[in-house]
Amino acid sequence: MKPAYTRVLLKVSGQSLAGAQGFGIDTAQIHRTAQEIVEVAEHGVEIAIVCGGGNIIRGINASAEGISRAAADYMGMLASIMNALALQDALEKCGARTRVMSAIEVKQVAEPHIRRRAVRHLEKGRVVIFAAGTGNPFFTTDTGGALRAMEIGAQILLKGTRVDGVYDSDPEKVPDARRYDQVSYKDFLALNLGVMDSTAIALCQDNKLPIMVFDMSVPGNVLKVVCGETIGTLVSA
Ligand code: UDP
């Protein structure tokens, strides 16, 4: 298989590190994810990762239970740092060279996010894991993914999820939900489609960054999307 891109950003949701139990970090699952990433790097593709934190805490849910939204969001960002460290460990066990760069300073465990340094790491063949989203509350790691993808000049934002693309309604709830092969940013926003939040989509729209939403639970899918196979939904202009 020949890669269709030279530099990509993969958004790994917290949920896809949780395995079947639905929360926390599942070591077997994280190892599988790491192997998929290493496979891409071994094809000579520069790959950066943005880790979510929803398997540990999601700001919006925690605030519904009484924690102030900003505090809950900072907790969510710290959760994404934990995921990033777990993924870094798993990647290194698979033989990859890695760096974690955090939007919140935690200098004992991760480098601060410095755009030019991140690009240099990628050029040297290191897998860069961006942690702590944008560093600001009231955002999501999807928006962090869009932002970092633009900063490093990634050609595509790969959004790995548990479903095989974008649907007109939630496929886990509506049995005859219809899947899109392609959808424009405009329609995505107008139809209020799920999977990614509107801030992330709007940012990609303004900067013409294509997004591929695909099922990360199927082994080999990350390499397939990197090689240009349309196995999910392409969100573009
Ligand atoms: N978060 C935030 N700002 C950011 C990124 C994340 O405040 O730039 C917080 C927010 O509370 C979010 C949580 O971190 O719910 C975990 O991230 P997210 O829900 O995006 O993770 P995922 O759904 O990808 O696991």
pLDDT, one tens digit per residue, over 191-209 is 888 889 999 999 999 999 9
**β-strands 111-112, 98-102 pairing:** parallel
Fold of the 7-236 domain: Carbamate kinase (3.40.1160)
Q: Tell me the CA–centroid distance for residue 87 and ligand 1, in Å.
A: 17
Predicted structure pTM score: 0.96
**CA of residue 126 to ligand 1 center, whole Å:** 24
Domain residue ranges of the chain, discontinuous segments joined by +: 7-236
Ligand 1 atom closest to 142 (CA): 20
- Does 137 contact ligand 1 (Cβ within 6 A)? yes
pLDDT tens digits along 117-137: 999 999 999 999 999 999 999
